[in-house]
Chain A
Amino acid sequence: MGYNTKIPYIFHSPQKYANSFIDRRPKFLIFTQIQGMTADGNSLRSSYNVFTLAIAFFAIQGAFDLAHSVTAFPFVHYGMFSEKFSAPDSLLRYEVIVDGLPLSPDDFRIYRWDMIQGPLAAFDKQSRTGDFAFDKQKIRAVLPGIYSQVSTNLDNLPDLAAGFPDWYLGYLGRLLHRPVYSFLVSRAWYRYENNRFILLSKTPWISR
């Protein structure tokens, strides 16, 4: 059988085909789809502006990554739980009782449960931080001129604390797709010990 005379491939897999070239035609490039940086570089060079923008984008991205806690959308961190967690002393859970019945995460899709819990955590944080006073203080320290002009915009509405329970009552009704007449949110603190959760305290927080 001559050099160019081929035998047919009774089909098993293309890998066999590729392997067959190793002995018979060494000049043939197996897996020719190998694309290196050179080819991509050419593509980018063909559009200098895009190349420059891409470089700038990645440079800013890198800078924000080094800045740790601050981001500037769309330059965000992809930490994906990379923070080194220490053993928690206690674990907080917002327990929601609607019309006398407790809500359980098992009864909701992931995001729907997030939407029940999210506003509570956010409102809790807003209350605890004095409407994010620390952040505003930082802005005032760094950009005092701008802060004086926009300070009103930086504040949440003054009647938020009073209005939140009513809003949450209505919101739960929209979320559960049924009328909600009353609810009670408690802050329950747990400790994890010996593979068990121990309830430390449970305090009623918001109700209607």
Chain B
Amino acid sequence: MENRSYYTRDRNLLLGFYFLFYYAVLLGLFLDDRLLVQYRPIFFNYNRDLTELFLIATGLPRWMIVHPASFAIADVAAFLLPLPLLVYVGRKGRFSAIAGVVFLLTVVLYLLLADIFWQVHYEPFVLFLLLPLAWTTNRPARFYALLTACRYYVLYIFVSAAVWKLARGAVFNSQEMSRILLLHHTDLLTGPCTSLTCRTYGWLIGHPAMSQALYIGSALLEGSFLTGFFTRRWDRWLIALAVVFVIADLFLMRIPYWTILLGVFPLWLRSPATSRPKEKRIVLYETTHHENLPALLDLCEAQFNQVAVFLKELSYHNLTAEGSPEQRWPQTDFFIQTTDCPNRRFIRQLFRFVRRHGFTHLHLCTLDNNLLFFAVRLTFIGPVHLSLTVHEVNEYFFRSFNNLRDWTETIAKQSLRRQIRHYHFFLPAMADQFHKRLPGSITVFIPSRFYSGHRVPPPTPPPAPSPQKDTPLVTFPDRTPHPISPVESHLSMQIEFPKKTLTPPFRIVIPGSVDANRRNYLGVIETLKLLQTKPIELILLGNAATEAGATIVTAFQSITGDHLTLRHFSGYIPESTYERELAQAHLIWSPLNIHKKSSRKSPETYGLTTASGLTADLLLNNIPALVPTEFIVPEPFQQAIYPYRSPEEACNLILRFAQDPAAYATIRDKIHVAFTCFSKENFTAAFAELIRT
């Protein structure tokens, strides 16, 4: 059963690929007036083919000439007979042997008739008969065995052509190609011959050495397919050579031999049994949401023989605040996309890497751009297990047709939903919500990171109220030197100094970009106005150097004073700074606008269809957090999250934390205990489900 999902996918791919070619051929016949009903022949030919001779002997061609309506019936059958096959597969999820055999016989009959009546030269169409044999079985092993046989046939086509050229001595005939051109293009050459192609043919005929070199080149090209009998390693190159062959055949011989490219399918496809190595190897692709990688990397290192991560330079430098990523995950290889490397090039190399090194799994940690590009590449990725982290459930199902990007993304999402069956979420509610929308999918909840006690400093009670009123102190977070990453140099921090501070302040951190779409800062301001009796240090832990951010900062600045210190940041905050600020906080405040719009304007609900970065931030420490009451509190986080309905309620909660150090310490102890459930061991099973093939 392990290979069943690959089989289903490969079977559908074969159907798609085959009928794309099949109907393209029929369309071509129609456009060139080559359908039987368009030709309406009055005589048949002998082509020295025993099968054709048998058909002629049955009297069918003669009967058809006498009854021309039969040509229309043959054409209609060719167009419509695939439908029962496709409908059956669509409904039942498996092949109907009867429909498969009937279709196969129809194709055979049609090709024979076409050759008998107007000499279709059916050599390139033989694969149109062989590939449908795969539809006469529902056994994956047999299916792949048939495709393997087809692959050998494709190799045989080319190799036998080379052998013929060699055996008949054509490659040794110095005039061979020029004579072929002479005979083949007589119609063109004896006319005005003013076109570039005609003059090229003339030149080649007049230069036999050059034309023979091309002929020998084509024989070598055909002969190179011999390698395919010994290894599949070069199959992609053979596909490229087949394309070159078809193009050359078109330009040099004026033979549109493109139908033979149907043969690239068995060259390209690999049976999971043969192509999947025993070792499990995974590639993770991430763009900018690096904060969500740690848990996956921990799990990957435990369950995979090899792990590779493709990510942006910025993400790499901020993946962990503790040392470097390669020290924390020593078994993982990191591939960094520098700022001068275009996204598509990076993605192309990612797929090449997956294929070339036989990776068995590909997990897309974030997919927010180039959706169509991904959808197309994933279609042809072969037997690789795919999984995806969905950050916004509604967005993944959202359809929009306002502009070209919307169109492509809507189409791409449709394709992605069909191809990817395994999904990862940061909240259990998101997983449930998604599963309702896409029944049959595997949805698992794995947090962004695992909670580790060693990161958590001993609970530091908030400063007790002090009677001293004139102590001009501002305590700042620990200034332990830390390695400066390239991005950190762009960071600047602004501190609004109070005129005087009464006591060490109670530190509240609002993490995340300073963005009014995501957070309700007015509610925070209302609350802080009520907290005049308590010294507060407010840290806006996100980039405020935006137009919207500046407005919000100005609003906060208007209420700073003796009791309120404000710190905010401009630019990207390095992970080390970010985590340090959080570690020193007494309270995390996430004043989310529960209902928000995604970047593509789809409506999302925090806690239900999208996850806030809060769930990642919480697991860094054991600090309580304030959130609006509408936020659907994920059960595992309940111990740490304190909902509030109004500024007054928020104010009371803050005072409760700030004024009772003993109670605050107890709360942090409880959170610490509750968060121990966020261990790697507890999510191993969920991860195994995510990567199960």
Name A residues whose Cβ lies closer than 8 Å to a Cβ of B. 2, 4-11, 13-14, 17-18, 30-37, 39-40, 42-44, 46-47, 49-51, 53-54, 57-58, 61, 65, 69-74, 76-88, 91-93, 104-106, 109-113, 115, 117-119, 122-123, 125-126, 132, 135, 139, 146, 150, 152-157, 160, 163-164, 167, 171, 174-175, 188, 190, 192, 195, 197
Report yes or no: A91 in contact with B182, Cβ–Cβ below 8 A: yes
**Residues in A whose Cβ lies below 8 Å from that of B332:** 6
Report yes or no: A82 in contact with B152, Cβ–Cβ below 8 A: no
A58-B156, A85-B176 given as contacts; is B335 within 8 A of A9 (CB)? yes
In the assembled complex, the CB of B579 is this many whole angstroms from the nearest CB of chain A, namely 20
Report yes or no: B145 in contact with A4, Cβ–Cβ below 8 A: no
Report yes or no: B179 in contact with A85, Cβ–Cβ below 8 A: yes
**Residues in B whose Cβ lies below 8 Å from that of A88:** 179, 182-183
B residues 105-160 near A (Cβ < 8 Å) are 108, 111-112, 115, 118-119, 122-123, 126, 129-130, 139, 141-142, 144-146, 148-149, 152-153, 156-158, 160
Is B326 part of the binding interface, using a Cβ–Cβ cutoff of 8 Å?
Answer: yes
**Residues in B whose Cβ lies below 8 Å from that of A37:** 229-230
Report yes or no: B122 in contact with A73, Cβ–Cβ below 8 A: yes
Report yes or no: B356 in contact with A31, Cβ–Cβ below 8 A: yes
User: 19 A-B contacts, Cβ less than 8 Å apart?
Assistant: A8-B326, A9-B333, A33-B275, A35-B274, A43-B144, A54-B145, A58-B153, A74-B130, A80-B222, A82-B170, A84-B173, A85-B183, A91-B183, A106-B191, A132-B45, A135-B53, A152-B59, A153-B59, A171-B40
Report yes or no: B232 in contact with A35, Cβ–Cβ below 8 A: yes
A142 to B514, CA, bound (A): 92
Is B49 part of the binding interface, using a Cβ–Cβ cutoff of 8 Å?
Answer: yes
B55-91 interface code vs A (CB 8 A; 1 in, 0 out):
0111100100110000000000000000000000000
B124 nearest CB neighbor, chain A only: A78
Question: Which of A30, A73, A115, A190 is most buried by chain B, counting CB atoms within 10 A of its CB?
Answer: A73
A77 to B66, CA, bound (A): 32
Report yes or no: B190 in contact with A79, Cβ–Cβ below 8 A: no
In the assembled complex, the CB of A179 is this many whole angstroms from the nearest CB of chain B, namely 16
Residue pairs across A and B with CB atoms within 8 Å: the count is 294
A71 to B49, CA, bound (A): 5
Is B192 part of the binding interface, using a Cβ–Cβ cutoff of 8 Å?
Answer: yes
**Residues in B whose Cβ lies below 8 Å from that of A31:** 233, 356-358
Tell me the dominant secondary structure on chain B's binding face.
helix
Q: Which of B53, B180, B279 contacts A85 (CB 8 A)?
A: B180
Given contacts A8-B336, A31-B233, A85-B180, 9 further A-B contacts (CB under 8 A): A8-B335, A32-B357, A43-B273, A54-B152, A78-B156, A132-B46, A153-B57, A153-B58, A156-B62
Report yes or no: A73 in contact with B156, Cβ–Cβ below 8 A: no
Q: Which of B27-35, B524-532, B670-678 contacts A (4 or more CB under 8 A)?
A: B27-35
Report yes or no: A33 in contact with B358, Cβ–Cβ below 8 A: yes
A2 to B326, CA, bound (A): 11
Report yes or no: B142 in contact with A78, Cβ–Cβ below 8 A: no
Report yes or no: A43 in contact with B330, Cβ–Cβ below 8 A: no
B173 nearest CB neighbor, chain A only: A84
**Residues in B whose Cβ lies below 8 Å from that of A78:** 123, 156-158, 160-161, 164
Report yes or no: B349 in contact with A11, Cβ–Cβ below 8 A: yes
Report yes or no: B183 in contact with A18, Cβ–Cβ below 8 A: no
B184 nearest CB neighbor, chain A only: A81
Report yes or no: B338 in contact with A47, Cβ–Cβ below 8 A: no
Question: Which of A53, A61, A76, A110 is most buried by chain B, counting CB atoms within 10 A of its CB?
Answer: A76
Question: Which of A6, A34, A167 is most buried by chain B, counting CB atoms within 10 A of its CB?
Answer: A6
Report yes or no: A47 in contact with B161, Cβ–Cβ below 8 A: no
Report yes or no: A14 in contact with B160, Cβ–Cβ below 8 A: no
Question: Which of B52, B139, B156, B253 is most buried by chain A, counting CB atoms within 10 A of its CB?
Answer: B156
Report yes or no: B149 in contact with A54, Cβ–Cβ below 8 A: yes
Report yes or no: A197 in contact with B43, Cβ–Cβ below 8 A: no
Is B268 part of the binding interface, using a Cβ–Cβ cutoff of 8 Å?
Answer: no
A10-B336, A37-B230, A76-B122 given as contacts; is B192 within 8 A of A82 (CB)? no
Report yes or no: A47 in contact with B141, Cβ–Cβ below 8 A: yes
B248-260 interface code vs A (CB 8 A; 1 in, 0 out):
0000011110000
In the assembled complex, the CB of A156 is this many whole angstroms from the nearest CB of chain B, namely 5
5 closest residue pairs by CB, A with B: A82-B164, A35-B232, A153-B59, A32-B358, A8-B334
Q: Which of B66, B129, B183, B337 contacts A11 (CB 8 A)?
A: B337
Q: Which of B118, B168, B256 contacts A118 (CB 8 A)?
A: B118
